[in-house]
């Protein structure tokens, strides 16, 4: 099964109260995250009660893992201590360099952070280059446009990629936790939650803990290169699942290379394509 790492608690700072932060952490776990990445600041707020194996700490430069009892997993940029379970963050700014195969192989566990390219890139080539370069476990963290990041994480899961990185409502431009976990359950890569927290309640907990944040729901986007599983999932989300013939025609139209107004389509653009075939 896929292990979902949610990093909302390391992206957002200055929570309204420890109690609100604790309620948000519980809500994220109830909504499908397996591991919560947490910042040092938020760890100190929750340290007395949140020190179990579901937490991964983002270690700042110069900090020591020994300063954080109860935490067994870490992620860090730069060199990391060899005596802890540590993912070293690689920030990929040049996809062409990665695709060229010129990057030396990396053996240690990594957090692969890459700006979301246009979705009309070839996911198979991208993922092949990633796996040839990063040979340990890979925490896959595309970001930039949360809708595009969600689709890339879904594509990653379809190719047996593990450990996608999300945030609640896609804050910070990461994949949307809610959309990704629902998609993973639709392709049977996740077990149904015993008690799934409604998305509206999760957003309410986010707003309570971080009232200054924009909590508008992220919208998963598709492109001509999207897997048929993602196309079908997204179209059914938008209410096109009742007509198999229209679903097939609409999928074909998208795959034919629709490029207006952008290389990828949000819900509004999909409805615009739909009106062309009515």
pLDDT 10s digits, 16-30: 999 999 999 999 998
pLDDT in tens, 68-103: 887 888 998 865 555 567 888 988 888 888 888 888
**What value does the CA radius of gyration of the chain take, rounded to a whole number of Å?**
19
Residue 117 has pLDDT above 90, yes or no: no
Residue 139 has pLDDT above 90, yes or no: yes
pTM across the whole model: 0.89
* Residue ranges covered by each domain of the chain: 5-209, 228-277
Residue 125 has pLDDT above 80, yes or no: yes
List of long-range contacts for 155-161, beta carbons under 8 Å, 24+ apart: 155/123, 155/127, 155/226, 155/227, 155/230, 156/123, 156/127, 157/2, 157/183, 157/184, 157/187, 157/189, 158/187, 158/227, 158/229, 158/230, 159/123, 159/124, 159/127, 161/127
Distance of alpha carbon 223 from alpha carbon 228, whole angstroms: 10
Mean pLDDT of 102-107: 88
Domain 5-209 maps to which CATH number in 3.40.50.800, 3.20.20.70, 3.40.50.360, 2.30.29.30?
3.20.20.70
Contact yes or no for 206/177 (Cβ under 8 A)? no
pLDDT at 46: 85
pLDDT at 75: 92
């Amino acid at each position: 099964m896929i292990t979902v790492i949610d990093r909302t608690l390391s992206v957002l700072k200055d929570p309204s109260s420890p109690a609100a932060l604790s309620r948000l952490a519980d809500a994220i776990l109830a909504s499908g995250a397996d591991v919560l990445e947490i910042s040092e600041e938020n760890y100190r707020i929750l340290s007395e009660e949140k020190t179990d194996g579901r937490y991964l700490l983002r270690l700042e430069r110069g900090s020591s893992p020994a300063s954080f009892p109860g935490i067994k997993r870490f992620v860090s940029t730069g060199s990391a201590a060899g005596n802890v379970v540590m993912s070293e963050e690689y920030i990929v700014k040049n996809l062409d360099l990665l695709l060229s195969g010129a990057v030396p192989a990396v053996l240690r566990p990594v957090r692969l952070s890459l700006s979301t390219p246009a979705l009309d890139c070839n996911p198979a080539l991208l993922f092949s280059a990633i796996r040839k370069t990063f040979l340990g476990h890979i925490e896959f963290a595309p970001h930039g446009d949360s809708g595009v990041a969600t689709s890339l994480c879904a594509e990653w899961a379809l190719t047996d990629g593990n450990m996608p990185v999300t945030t609640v409502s896609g804050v910070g431009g990461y994949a949307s936790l809610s959309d990704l976990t629902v998609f993973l359950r639709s392709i049977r890569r996740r077990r149904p939650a015993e008690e799934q927290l409604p998305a509206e309640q999760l957003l309410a907990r986010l707003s309570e803990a971080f009232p200054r944040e924009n909590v508008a729901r992220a919208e998963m986007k598709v492109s001509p290169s999207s897997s048929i599983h993602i196309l079908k999932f997204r179209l059914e989300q938008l209410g096109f699942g009742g007509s198999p013939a229209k679903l097939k025609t609409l999928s074909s139209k998208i795959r034919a290379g629709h490029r207006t107004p952008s290389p990828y389509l949000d819900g509004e653009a999909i409805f615009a394509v739909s009106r062309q075939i009515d």
